[in-house]
Structure 1
Amino acid sequence: MSELPQIDKRLAKNIIHIVGSTGTPPEIGCSYFSVGLDSILDAFDKYYFKDLILNGQSTFKLIIANYGYGKTHFLYSIRDLAFDNNYAASYVSLNNNETPFHKLELVYKAIVNNLMDPENKKPENVFNIEKGIEYFLRRWIIKKKEELIQAGLSNDEINKEILNHLNSIKGVENTSFKNAIVNALNALLREDENEFDIIISWIKGEGFFPSVHKKYGILHKIDKSTVFPMIRSLLGIIRQLDYNGLVILFDEGERFSTLGSRAKKEVAHNLRQLVDQCGQSNFKHCLILYANTDENFLTQPDYDYEALKQRLNSYFTEFNPLGTKLNLLHINNSNEELLFQIGLKLANIFEIAEDFTFNETELKTSIKLLVDETMNWQFNEEGLKRFFVKKLIHCLKFIKTYGKYPTEEEIKKIANGEM
C-alpha cells in the first residue's frame, strides 16, 4: 500500500466503525478520507481561516449537495480545518422539530449547545467528544490552568492571573451575556458547581428567572429579539478567550419542501438577516456555512427569497473564493474515480485500525469491482457515496477475515447484502 496517513489508531478505529456501520461521516477525522476537496479546503484555509476571518471579517456560504453525497462530510472537514487553525466551531443539524431555522431563538440554543473547541480533535478525546457552552468554558479553565502551571505559577498566582483575564474582558455588546460568561468562569474557578449550572442554564436559553439571575448581572430573557446581539456577543467572548473566531455549520436535516409556506418565508427572512449580519462591522471573526439539498429553494416568489437570490448568485471556486454558493456536485471528480480514491484512503485507515496489510494490486482490483457494482445501482447520485463506503468496509473485513480477496460474484453478494 501507499504511505499511510499520520493518524492515531484510536481515531482510525472510530472512522472505520462509523463509516462501516452507517455510512455517515465520523464527527472527527473526515479530512483523512476526503477526495476532490483539497483545492476548496485550501482556499478556505488560505483565504478565510488565515486571512479574512482571522483579521475580523465574517462571511456566509451556501453549500449545495444531495443527501448521501457529502454535505455533512464537507461540513465536518471544514470543522476539522477550523480546529487546526484554533477556531471554535458549532455544527447544527436543522430539523423542523428541535432546531427549525424559522425560529431563531431555537437556532441560538442549538449553536451554544453544540459549541466545540479544538481540543475535541485530539486523539485522546475522539471517544469523548464534548459539546456545549458548559464544556467549552470548563475546557478553557483547564487549558488556562495548564498553561500557567507550565509557566511555573503557584495556585494562588494562577487564580489571580485568570481573574485578571476575566476582569479584562470588554467590548461585548450584550452586557447580560458578558456578565453571565464571566460569572460562570468565576464559579468554575471557585469550584461552585451549583452557581455555574444556574448561570449556564440562562446562557443555553433554558429560561430567565429574575430572582435567581439578576444578582449575576443577567437582566433579560433570551428570545427572538435578542438572538443576534447574543450571537455577536458570543463572537466577542470567543476572541477574548484566545480563539481566532467561530465557525457555524448549519446542516439541513429535512427537505425545505416539507415546510409550510409561513415557515418558508421565515427561513428566508432569517437567512437574509444572517447573510446581512456577516457584512456588518460588529459581526466579526465568523464563518457561516448553510448546507441545503436544493438551491432551487431560492426561486420562491417572495421578497426575501429574491433578496437572497441576489446575494447568493456567485459560485465559490478555488479561483473565486469570494463566491457565496458552493455546489459539491460541481467540484468532485467523476463518480467512478471519486469512489475509487475514497476506497484507497479508507483502506489505508483500515490498515492502521486493524493492524493489517493489503496486497496493493489485489486490493485495487477489489475496490474497482465494488465501484463498478455500485455504479450499476440506481441512486440518482443520492446515497451513492454512503452505499459505497459501507460496502467497502464490509469488503475489507471480508479480506481480513477470510484471508483472500473477493471474486466478482462475491462482490455482487456483498453489495446485495447476501454475505
Structure 2
Amino acid sequence: MNFEAQRVIEALRSGVSSRAVGHYFSSARPELMRQLSRELDQVMESGDSSGMVITGRYGEGKTHLLNTVVNLAHNNNMVVSLLSLSKETPFDKLYLVYQKLVSNTYLPGRLQPGFEQLLQDLTPNSQAAQDILSFTSKHLETDKLFFVFRSYLHVDDPDDKYLLLADLEGDFISTSRLRQVYKRIFGQAARFATPFTKSRHSTDYFAMLSHLFKLLGFNGWVILFDEGELVGRLGKKARLKAYSNMASFLFPEQYSHLESTFSIFALTASFIEDVIEGRHEYENLNSVYVERSEREPVEKVLNSIKTAAQLQALSPAEIKVVLEQLRDFHAQAYDWPANLDIEQVLKATETRGYLLRTRIRAAVELLDQLYQYGQAGDIRINELGEPQYLEDELPALDDCLLES
C-alpha cells in the first residue's frame, strides 16, 4: 500500500483540502494556473508586490486552488503563509491577523510552520543583521522593531530573548517592558521616534517580514487568505476597516511597504450580492469616511472584488481528468487494480449536485465500495448547502480589553 496516496484519498474523502491534495491534483484550471505562475514570476523578477481576488461558489475548489499555489510558490523558493479568516482572526484587526499568519507561515522545504530558525541564525555583526537594523530604523512607520531586533541580537537572558522572539511572532511586548530590556542590555534608554500602537502600526511587522525573507535569500512571500467572505460578518465600521486593511495586500505599492509579496484573497461569489450590494457598502463608505484619502483604498478593494475572476465549474473533460487521477490514486493507496471505466464514475457522481467537492467525495465512496465489496451500492454523499454569513454586531472579546 502507498501511504502517501492513502493520505491524499483520506483528505479527499473528508472533503477537506490539503497541501498534499494541492500537490498531486494541480492539473485542473490550467489557464488560471498559468496566470498565477506569471504573477509569481513577476514578483520574483521585479521585486514588486501585488495581489488579486478570486471568487467562486462554495465547494468549487477555492481552497484547493490556494493549496496548489502553496506548492507552486515553494517550488520557486518562496515563503508561503496560508490563513483562513475567522471570528478569532478578524481582518479589521491586523495585529491578530499577524500573529495567526506567523503560525501558518511555511518556509520552502520545511514541514513545520514558523521562521524562528532564521532569527536564530542571525549574528550581531553579520551583514543581514546590519541590514535589518537599518531597515527597521528608517523605513517603517515606527522604529519599535529596531529596538526589538537590536535587543534580540545582543540579549543573553533566556527569558528576555523569549519575550523578544514572541514579539517578532506577534505576541507584542509592552513598550515599558521593551524599555527595561533594552536598558538592561545596553545601559541606555530606548528613545522611540514614534510611539508604537498595535491597532495603527501592525503593518510594520508585515513589512519587516517581507524584507527579512528577501534579505535571507528567498524569492518572495506569498500570502493566501481563505474564507475572505467572513469579512461580511463584521459590523459596518469594522467591515470598512477590514477593506482598508485588505488594500495593504492587494495594492501594496500604494498602501504598504511590502517587498516581493503576492497576496490572494479567496471569497465566495455571493459576497458581491450579499454584502457589497446587500449591505450598501459604497453608501456606508461615503457616510463614514469624509476624507478622500480614507475612501480611496476601500473603493479600490470593493471594485477589485466586484471585477474579480470567478472560478468556473470544471468542464466535463476536466472533471474526467480529475476522476481518472482519483481512480489511480485509490488504486495506489489500497493496492488493488481499480479496473473501472471512468464513464461509470462520471455517471455515478453526476446526480450529486453541482459542487465539485461533493462529486469527488461521491467518487471516493464509489471506489471504496468497489474495493471493499466488489460492487457499488447506494452513494450517500449528498450536495452540501452553501453557508450563509450573517452580520455579527456583537463585540469580540478583544474589543473589551484595554490595548497594551
Deviation at 1:89?
Answer: 1.0
Distance 1:339 1:393, change over 3 A: same
Whether 1:18 aligns to 2:8 is: no
In the alignment, the residues of structure 1 paired with residue 4 and residue 216 of structure 2 have an alpha-carbon distance, to the nearest angstrom, of 28
Report if aligned partners of 1:105, 1:222 keep a CA contact under 8 Å in 2.
Answer: no
Whether 1:49 aligns to 2:32 is: no
What is the match of residue 208 of structure 2? 233
In the alignment, the residues of structure 2 paired with residue 240 and residue 265 of structure 1 have an alpha-carbon distance, to the nearest angstrom, of 34
Report if aligned partners of 2:231, 2:242 keep a CA contact under 8 Å in 1.
Answer: no
What is the match of residue 263 of structure 1? 238
Query: Could you say what secondary structure the match of 1:118 adopts?
Result: coil
Query: Could you say what secondary structure the match of 1:267 adopts?
Result: helix
What is the match of residue 130 of structure 1? 112
Report if aligned partners of 2:203, 2:256 keep a CA contact under 8 Å in 1.
Answer: no
In the alignment, the residues of structure 2 paired with residue 9 and residue 139 of structure 1 have an alpha-carbon distance, to the nearest angstrom, of 34
Query: Could you say what secondary structure the match of 1:28 adopts?
Result: helix
Deviation at 1:228?
Answer: 1.6
Q: 1:208 aligns with which of 142, 165, 173?
A: 173
Matches within 5 A, 1:11-90: 11-20=4-13, 22-45=14-37, 47-90=38-81
Whether 1:199 aligns to 2:182 is: no
Structure 1 segments, 4+ long, off by >6 Å, are 216-220
Query: Could you say what secondary structure the match of 1:95 adopts?
Result: coil
What is the match of residue 344 of structure 1? 324
Deviation at 1:65?
Answer: 1.4
Report if aligned partners of 2:11, 2:21 keep a CA contact under 8 Å in 1.
Answer: no
Which residue identity is paired with 2:331? E
Deviation at 1:199?
Answer: 1.9
In the alignment, the residues of structure 2 paired with residue 246 and residue 139 of structure 1 have an alpha-carbon distance, to the nearest angstrom, of 15
In the alignment, the residues of structure 2 paired with residue 106 and residue 89 of structure 1 have an alpha-carbon distance, to the nearest angstrom, of 18
Deviations 1:4-37 (A, max 9, x none): xxxx9544222111221x2011133414223532
Q: 1:333 aligns with which of 299, 302, 314?
A: 314
Which residue identity is paired with 2:95? E
In the alignment, the residues of structure 2 paired with residue 186 and residue 390 of structure 1 have an alpha-carbon distance, to the nearest angstrom, of 54
Which residue identity is paired with 1:289? I
Report if aligned partners of 1:11, 1:29 keep a CA contact under 8 Å in 2.
Answer: no
In the alignment, the residues of structure 2 paired with residue 295 and residue 35 of structure 1 have an alpha-carbon distance, to the nearest angstrom, of 29
Report if aligned partners of 1:53, 1:284 keep a CA contact under 8 Å in 2.
Answer: no
Deviation at 1:77?
Answer: 1.1
Deviation at 1:50?
Answer: 2.1
Deviation at 1:357?
Answer: 2.8
What is the match of residue 260 of structure 2? 285
In the alignment, the residues of structure 2 paired with residue 256 and residue 340 of structure 1 have an alpha-carbon distance, to the nearest angstrom, of 35
In the alignment, the residues of structure 1 paired with residue 253 and residue 330 of structure 2 have an alpha-carbon distance, to the nearest angstrom, of 41
Report if aligned partners of 2:243, 2:302 keep a CA contact under 8 Å in 1.
Answer: no
Query: Could you say what secondary structure the match of 2:80 adopts?
Result: strand
Deviations 1:116-162 (A, max 9, x none): 11113xxxxxxxx4223xxx232786xx8xxxxxxxxxxxxxx98x9
> Identity of counterpart residues, as a percentage?
21
In the alignment, the residues of structure 2 paired with residue 288 and residue 140 of structure 1 have an alpha-carbon distance, to the nearest angstrom, of 24
Report if aligned partners of 1:60, 1:278 keep a CA contact under 8 Å in 2.
Answer: no
Deviation at 1:245?
Answer: 1.0
What is the match of residue 117 of structure 1? 107
Report if aligned partners of 1:61, 1:324 keep a CA contact under 8 Å in 2.
Answer: no
What is the match of residue 223 of structure 1? 198
In the alignment, the residues of structure 1 paired with residue 172 and residue 296 of structure 2 have an alpha-carbon distance, to the nearest angstrom, of 36
Report if aligned partners of 1:251, 1:290 keep a CA contact under 8 Å in 2.
Answer: yes
Query: Could you say what secondary structure the match of 1:201 adopts?
Result: helix
Report if aligned partners of 1:102, 1:270 keep a CA contact under 8 Å in 2.
Answer: yes
Query: Could you say what secondary structure the match of 2:19 adopts?
Result: coil
In the alignment, the residues of structure 2 paired with residue 169 and residue 198 of structure 1 have an alpha-carbon distance, to the nearest angstrom, of 22
Report if aligned partners of 1:208, 1:222 keep a CA contact under 8 Å in 2.
Answer: no
Deviation at 1:165?
Answer: 5.0
Moved more, 290-299 or 101-110: 290-299
Deviation at 1:196?
Answer: 4.4
Deviation at 1:106?
Answer: 1.2
Which residue identity is paired with 1:295? I
Query: Could you say what secondary structure the match of 1:169 adopts?
Result: helix
Deviation at 1:115?
Answer: 1.3
Query: Could you say what secondary structure the match of 1:244 adopts?
Result: coil
Deviation at 1:104?
Answer: 1.8
Deviation at 1:277?
Answer: 2.5
With the length of structure 1 as denominator, give the TM-score of the two structures.
0.72
Pairwise CA RMSD: 3.5
What is the match of residue 221 of structure 2? 246
What is the match of residue 93 of structure 2? 103
Deviation at 1:221?
Answer: 5.4
| 5+ residue gaps, structure 2 | 287-293, 384-404
In the alignment, the residues of structure 2 paired with residue 222 and residue 12 of structure 1 have an alpha-carbon distance, to the nearest angstrom, of 48
Report if aligned partners of 2:320, 2:346 keep a CA contact under 8 Å in 1.
Answer: yes
| 5+ residue gaps, structure 1 | 1-7, 121-128, 145-158, 316-322, 376-380
In the alignment, the residues of structure 1 paired with residue 22 and residue 64 of structure 2 have an alpha-carbon distance, to the nearest angstrom, of 6
Moved more, 342-351 or 279-288: 279-288
What is the match of residue 177 of structure 1? 145
Report if aligned partners of 1:272, 1:307 keep a CA contact under 8 Å in 2.
Answer: yes
Deviation at 1:68?
Answer: 1.6
Report if aligned partners of 1:339, 1:388 keep a CA contact under 8 Å in 2.
Answer: no
Number of residue pairs matched by the alignment:
352
Distance 1:357 1:213, change over 3 A: farther
Distance 1:313 1:262, change over 3 A: closer
Report if aligned partners of 2:248, 2:256 keep a CA contact under 8 Å in 1.
Answer: no
